[in-house]
Chains A and B, each alone.
Chain A
Amino acid sequence: MQTLGRILPWLIVIAAIVPFAVNGDFTFHVAILIGIQALLALSIHLTLRVGQLSLAQAGFMGIGAYASALFTRDAGIPFLVGLACAAAIPALLAGLLGGIILRVRGVQFALLTFMLGEAIVLLFVEFVIPFGGNNGVMGIPPIALFGIPLDSRQQIYAFVILVLAVVYFASRTLLRGNPGIALRGIAGNEALAQSLGTDSLGWRRVVFAASAGIAGISGSLYAHYLGYISPEAFNITTTINALVMNVVGGTALLVGPLIGAILLVPLPELFRSAVLYQQLLYGLSLLLLVLFLPQGLGSILRRPRT
């Protein structure tokens, strides 16, 4: 078990290199989408770690996407600054809102964030200026580093993987360091942790803000890669898909969402011909997984740390 646990991260690294071996535009296209979705799945994973499932993550992704798209296109701001804004704005919003909404626990929190996510999408639809209503935003400038646009999918993929790696290790540090210790204490016995001086709400707020920031980064990459965004890309279905990636990969492991993204994102791209049956098969396999392997596929390889 332990050796498999050590192998798992290396499997992910190998998976990240595979597209360069296979090559081809389509491979890189799918690989870029995997990277972007993995970021969103990772952001949901953080909220699961706090024990408060947030269904507003696609909404935060949308805020990041619109912020960086509009700033770079209309204000002429460089991409990297736009990316920073895409992380900072949702993180700030979540940090502010978190002080109030994180007091709500359990299913009520999931439902509250469900409404919040849908409300964010409706704001994009309702305010045609500046969000473009249902038509969305077009002509978003491509990803560019220090003024030099990344003109091949290969380069874009390398950049997405770099961002994903940075976010992954930042999340790992967050969960393993002091905040992680505090969070495990809170999860184990909240009253005891609080009596020892742990600021439960404060730590949960930090993680919630971080999760929204990661979702925003994912949105920015999505917007600049595709060059076009519309509100329905950020509705509840996107959040649910990212949640499913966590369930498939395993919710107890930080690599869980990455495994889930690698397995699930290529499916619709590969099975275009069976498009009518795709959702049914997807739903059935998910049901079987939930019933017979509730810890996710990652649990086959590694038992969660206790």
Chain B
Amino acid sequence: MFQQFLMVAALSAATYMLIALGFTLIFGIMRVVNFAHGEFVLIGAYGIYVAQSLLGLNYFVAVPLAALAAAIIGIAAERLIFRRFAGDELAGMIAALALAITINGAVTAIFGVDGQPVERPISGVIHIGDAILPKDQLFAAGIAFALVLATWLLLVKTRLGLAMRAVAQRPEIARLQGITPWKTFPIAFAIGCGLAGFAGALTAPIYAITPYIGEGALTRAFIVVVLGGLGSIPGALLAAVLLGAIDAGISILYSATLATLVSFVAVILVLIARPNGIFGRA
């Protein structure tokens, strides 16, 4: 039972990390609360459906293509919309809402409101101790952790990552050091939306895909990012683990609704006590 809990917690933490990392990165650099983030998860999921079922591509080829599509649409959104709202949090949030409605409307117009079937490329289970693990979930979680690690290395080890972190901390001082803040905006959007696209593509075969999956993903991202502190990357990663544990524990013992309710109340309490999140800067 405990092993099962640990495994379920780790598996859900992996996808939460993937979604929340991009969300917090975009906020950190542009001060835009990307209400459309869930819709980029949706683009990733429908990307898999198009590539696999309509174009007949292999699943493992389709995943990076779907994420690439999400990243490209993300860059376009940054160029056409979000650049004008950088720094204006309320207006940026409303613009993101408008974008979310548009993307969702486009997906509904093209594919209809019904769910689409996605072939499962991987099947079967692995037994570790008394825990039973579906192989497809294990694959998704493995790739998710690898992507999170790669993003982390990009931010910590490269000059580009250093510039992005500088912009997130103090844009004015970053400018003094010769960094042009707005040049990092499309990169932040490409990475953030690409990761969201990966999350959608990786989970598409596990859950049914419908136009409504974006809303759930967005709520999860909110919880993780607010717990960890808006804009804080280590905070988001730790909070994803925490939310995974809360979710898995209460879902196994009681019900999924109660698990969500508890995480909402936890977030509200954290925000009241520490508005910048558990790990956020004061």
Interfacial chain B residues near A301, Cβ < 8 Å: none
Looking across the interface, which residue of chain A has its beta carbon closest to that of B101?
A283
Q: How would residues 90 to 114 of chain B score, 1 for a CB under 8 Å from any chain A CB and 0 otherwise?
A: 1101110111111111101100110
Q: A115-B267, A119-B264, A280-B109 are contacts. A53–B98 as well, Cβ < 8 Å?
A: no
In the docked arrangement, what's the CA distance between A287 and B223, Å?
Answer: 26
Interface pair B99/A283, CB less than 8 Å apart: yes
Could you count the A-B residue pairs with CB atoms below 8 Å apart for me: how many are there? 119
Interfacial chain A residues near B109, Cβ < 8 Å: 276-277, 279-280
Interface pair B81/A107, CB less than 8 Å apart: no
Nearest chain A CB to B88's CB is how many angstroms away?
Answer: 9
* Interface secondary structure of B, over-half rule: helix
Interface pair B272/A276, CB less than 8 Å apart: no
In the docked arrangement, what's the CA distance between A53 and B90, Å?
Answer: 8
Interfacial chain A residues near B33, Cβ < 8 Å: 107, 110-111
Nearest chain A CB to B272's CB is how many angstroms away?
Answer: 5
Interface residues of A, count at CB 8 A? 41
Interfacial chain A residues near B255, Cβ < 8 Å: 126
Looking across the interface, which residue of chain A has its beta carbon closest to that of B266?
A115
Interfacial chain A residues near B276, Cβ < 8 Å: 108
Interface pair A101/B261, CB less than 8 Å apart: no
Nearest chain A CB to B176's CB is how many angstroms away?
Answer: 26
In the docked arrangement, what's the CA distance between A21 and B168, Å?
Answer: 58
Interface pair B101/A290, CB less than 8 Å apart: no
Interface pair A247/B94, CB less than 8 Å apart: yes
> Looking at the complex, which one of B91, B101, B223, B272 makes contact with A294 (CB distance below 8 Å)?
B91
Looking across the interface, which residue of chain B has its beta carbon closest to that of A107?
B89
Kindly identify, within residues 255 to 274 of chain B, every residue whose CB is under 8 Å from any CB belonging to chain A: 255, 257-258, 260-261, 264-265, 267-268, 271-272
**Which among B33, B95, B264 has the greatest number of chain A C-beta atoms within 10 A?**
B264
Interface pair B105/A280, CB less than 8 Å apart: yes
Kindly identify, within residues 94 to 145 of chain B, every residue whose CB is under 8 Å from any CB belonging to chain A: 94-95, 97-106, 108-109, 112-113
Q: How would residues 267 to 296 of chain A score, 1 for a CB under 8 Å from any chain B CB and 0 otherwise?
A: 000000000111111111011011100100
Interface pair A282/B268, CB less than 8 Å apart: no
In the docked arrangement, what's the CA distance between A60 and B264, Å?
Answer: 16
B84 at the interface (CB under 8 A from A): yes
Interfacial chain A residues near B222, Cβ < 8 Å: 111, 114-115
Kindly identify, within residues 98 to 147 of chain A, every residue whose CB is under 8 Å from any CB belonging to chain B: 100-101, 103-108, 110-112, 114-116, 118-119, 122-123, 125-126
Interfacial chain A residues near B101, Cβ < 8 Å: 240, 279, 282-283, 286
Interface pair A291/B95, CB less than 8 Å apart: yes
In the docked arrangement, what's the CA distance between A278 and B173, Å?
Answer: 46
Looking across the interface, which residue of chain B has its beta carbon closest to that of A101?
B272
> Looking at the complex, which one of B91, B219, B271 makes contact with A104 (CB distance below 8 Å)?
B271
Interfacial chain A residues near B265, Cβ < 8 Å: 119
A243 at the interface (CB under 8 A from B): yes
Interface pair B261/A122, CB less than 8 Å apart: yes
Interface pair A278/B105, CB less than 8 Å apart: yes
> Looking at the complex, which one of A100, A122, A240, A287 makes contact with B99 (CB distance below 8 Å)?
A287
Interfacial chain A residues near B223, Cβ < 8 Å: 115
A223 at the interface (CB under 8 A from B): no
Interface pair B105/A282, CB less than 8 Å apart: yes
Interfacial chain B residues near A101, Cβ < 8 Å: 268, 271-272
B230 at the interface (CB under 8 A from A): yes
Nearest chain A CB to B32's CB is how many angstroms away?
Answer: 10
B9 at the interface (CB under 8 A from A): no
Looking across the interface, which residue of chain A has its beta carbon closest to that of B77?
A287
Interfacial chain B residues near A119, Cβ < 8 Å: 261, 264-265, 268
B11 at the interface (CB under 8 A from A): no
In the docked arrangement, what's the CA distance between A236 and B99, Å?
Answer: 16
Interface pair A118/B219, CB less than 8 Å apart: yes
Kindly identify, within residues 193 to 232 of chain A, every residue whose CB is under 8 Å from any CB belonging to chain B: none
Looking across the interface, which residue of chain B has its beta carbon closest to that of A279?
B105
Interface pair B261/A115, CB less than 8 Å apart: no
In the docked arrangement, what's the CA distance between A244 and B102, Å?
Answer: 13
Nearest chain A CB to B226's CB is how many angstroms away?
Answer: 5
In the docked arrangement, what's the CA distance between A111 and B24, Å?
Answer: 13
In the docked arrangement, what's the CA distance between A107 and B271, Å?
Answer: 11
Interface pair B93/A107, CB less than 8 Å apart: yes
Interfacial chain B residues near A108, Cβ < 8 Å: 226, 230, 271, 275-276
In the docked arrangement, what's the CA distance between A112 and B222, Å?
Answer: 10
Interfacial chain B residues near A240, Cβ < 8 Å: 97, 101
Interface pair B81/A287, CB less than 8 Å apart: yes
Looking across the interface, which residue of chain B has its beta carbon closest to that of A125?
B257
> Looking at the complex, which one of B98, B219, B272, B275 makes contact with A283 (CB distance below 8 Å)?
B98
Looking across the interface, which residue of chain A has its beta carbon closest to that of B32?
A107
Q: A115-B223, A283-B104, A284-B105 are in contact. List 15 more A-B contacts (CB 8 A).
A: A53-B90, A111-B271, A118-B219, A119-B268, A123-B261, A240-B101, A243-B97, A279-B109, A283-B99, A283-B101, A283-B106, A286-B97, A286-B101, A287-B95, A291-B84
List 10 A–B pairs whose Cβ atoms lie within 8 Å, in order of A's numbering. A104-B272, A119-B268, A126-B257, A126-B261, A280-B109, A282-B105, A283-B98, A286-B97, A286-B101, A289-B98
Task: Give 10 closest A-B pairs by Cβ, nearest first.
Answer: A283-B102, A280-B105, A279-B105, A283-B101, A119-B264, A286-B98, A287-B98, A283-B105, A112-B271, A122-B261
Binding site for B on A (CB under 8 A): 53, 100-101, 103-108, 110-112, 114-116, 118-119, 122-123, 125-126, 236, 240, 243-244, 247, 276-284, 286-287, 289-291, 294
